[in-house]
Amino acid sequence: MRCPKIHAAYHALRDTKGLPWPKDHEKNADADLLEWLQAMFGFQKDNVSNQREHLILLIASMHIRQISKHEQHPKLDDHVLDTTMKKLFKNYKRWCKHLGRKTSLWLPTIQQEVQQRKLLYMGLYLLIWGEAANLRFMPECLCYLFHHMAFELYGVLAGNVNPVTGEYVRPFYGGEEEAFLKKVVTPISRIVETDKAERSGTIKSKHSHRRNYDDLNAFFWSRD
């Protein structure tokens, strides 16, 4: 924390200005962008702590390599963020191009909000990755999850209203505590576990019916 570049990344993450917090969430005095993502999408607390450190060090490392001059109170450089995003979302953009889809990395027109939005996208991707466990063997599955969750993130920040309930939109699966693990990761993991049981002989099936990570991941290469 004595490194100025670390401070720059840390303080950039503390910018929660304009974010719509859930009514039932008790906002901490030192709340940051990852805590807001946790409140909206239901990520685990420990995952948030780990990915906060991950993101800060990732940005600070890129900052040090790109801007070598010493500054006592440096600000987070936009070029540093762009370079970090380009590296982090390389596979996601390639996946979108393969499917003929536009990315969900939409940025606001107000310049003061652009840096915050970039950090939210990176934080969201790392939080998804952090709880994915063995689903990391299915990288296009993670692209699919991020694509739709980033779209929901955009809807939340744009203040979109649900035409049925008349309330502001929230993530499709709900944002209660540990919702992402219970309602997104676990159902997909159960399919993988079923295949493991088939391979071990616990559940018998034809060899041609057994699927591994690559077979399941292949579903996410299709627009269907």
- pLDDT of residue 143 exceeding 60: yes
* Confidence category of residue 100, pLDDT binned at 50, 70, 90: very high
Place of tokens 């309930």: 165
Domain ranges of the chain: 4-221
Please state the rounded mean pLDDT for residues 46-68. Answer: 90
- Helix (H), strand (E), coil (C) string for the chain: CCCHHHHHHHHHHCCCCCCCCCCCCCCCCCCCHHHHHHHHHCCCHHHHHHHHHHHHHHHHHHHHHHCCCCCCCCCCCHHHHHHHHHHHCHHHHHHHHHHCCCCCCCCCCCHHHHHHHHHHHHHHHHHHHHHCHHHHHCHHHHHHHHHHHHHHHHHHHCCCECCCCCCECCCCCCCCCCHHHHHHHHHHHHHHHHHHHHHHCCCCCCHHHCCCHHHHHHHHHCCC
% of the chain exceeding 70 in pLDDT: 88
- Lowest-pLDDT range, 5-19, 47-61, 121-135, 153-167? 153-167
Average model confidence (pLDDT) across the chain: 87
Tell the residue number behind the tokens 């990176």, with chain if given: 122
Q: Residue 152: is its pLDDT beyond 70?
A: yes
Tokens describing residue 186: 């676990």
For 139, the token pair is 């990288």
The phi and psi torsions of 161 (rounded to 5 degrees) equal: -110, 135
Residue 207 predicted with pLDDT over 60: no
Q: Which residues, other chains included, contact 108 with Cβ-Cβ below 8 Å and sequence gap of 6+?
A: 114, 117, 157
**Which pLDDT score, from 0 to 100, does residue 63 have?**
86
Is residue 113 within 8 Å of 120, Cβ to Cβ? no
**CA angle in degrees (0–180, nearest 5) for 68-70-74:** 100
- Would you say 72 and 2 are in contact if contact means Cβ atoms under 8 Å apart? no
pLDDT in tens, 88-98: 999 999 999 99
Tell which residue, 121, 53, 50, has the closest CA to residue 82: 121
Entry pTM: 0.89
Q: Which of 118, 94, 96 is nearest to 107 (CA)?
A: 118
For the stretch 65-83, pLDDT in tens is 876 666 655 688 889 999 9
